[in-house]
Structure 1
Amino acid sequence: MRALFVGGVVDNSELDLEGDSPPLHYPPDGGAGRSRYRLHQIGRQDGAVAYAVYGAPELPAEHIRQVADERAYARRFEAEPHDVEH
């Protein structure tokens, strides 16, 4: 699965994640007691997670959703987007 980032110092960056489900925070331990990014959306294709959208903690969820739509992650991965409740 692919991790996609909105906001912060790695805005519009991507990386591959191992496993069947994405962690709720990335990186799981930010070192300062607070993760730098939190999971906002996952895209599923045939039941499997194809991508995970992480947002910087200072950004509102609506903004992250809007950016994910503008970047067309769901279309790019041919997946159905699902918001993650916090």
Structure 2
Amino acid sequence: MRALFVGGVVDNSEMDLEGAQPPVHYPEDTGGGHARYRLHQVGKKDDGAVAYAVYGAPDLADEEVSRVADERAYARRFEATPEVFQH
């Protein structure tokens, strides 16, 4: 699965993630009390597998992360259905 980042210093970056489910925060545990990127959206394939996960910078509103993800057409690119992640 691909992790896609919106906002902050790694805006418009992506990387591969291991596992079947994306972590709620990235990085998962900094241990330093620093704000982390938060999971906002998960794109699922027809078979239910997670194709991508969209992470937003800590200072971005949910609506802005969704708008940017739509603008960048992640769902179309990965041929997946986007689902808002409920915290």
Q: Assess if the C-alpha contact under 8 Å between 1:29 and 1:35 holds in 2.
A: no
CA contact (8 A) 1:44 1:79 kept: yes
Mapped partners of 1:22, 1:52: distance in 2: 7
Deviation of 1:34 after TM superposition, in Å, equals 3.6
Q: Give the C-alpha shift of residue 31 in structure 1.
A: 3.6
Q: Provide structure 1 residue ranges, at least 5 long, that are not aligned to the other structure.
A: none
Q: Distance in 2 between matches of 1:49 and 1:35?
A: 25
What percentage of residue pairs aligned between the two structures are identical?
72
TM-score scaled by length of structure 1: 0.95
For 1:9, what is the secondary structure of its paired residue? helix
Match for residue 24 of structure 2? 24
Q: Does 1:42 align with 2:42?
A: yes
Q: As a proportion of its length, which structure holds more helix?
A: 2
Q: Which runs of 5+ in 2 are unaligned?
A: none
Q: Structure 1: how far apart are the matches of 2:27 and 2:43?
A: 19
**Could you tell me which residue of structure 2 aligns to residue 80 of structure 1?**
81
Number of aligned positions between the proteins: 86
Give the drift of 1:32: 2.3
Superposition RMSD on alpha carbons, in Å?
0.9
TM-score normalised by length of structure 2: 0.94
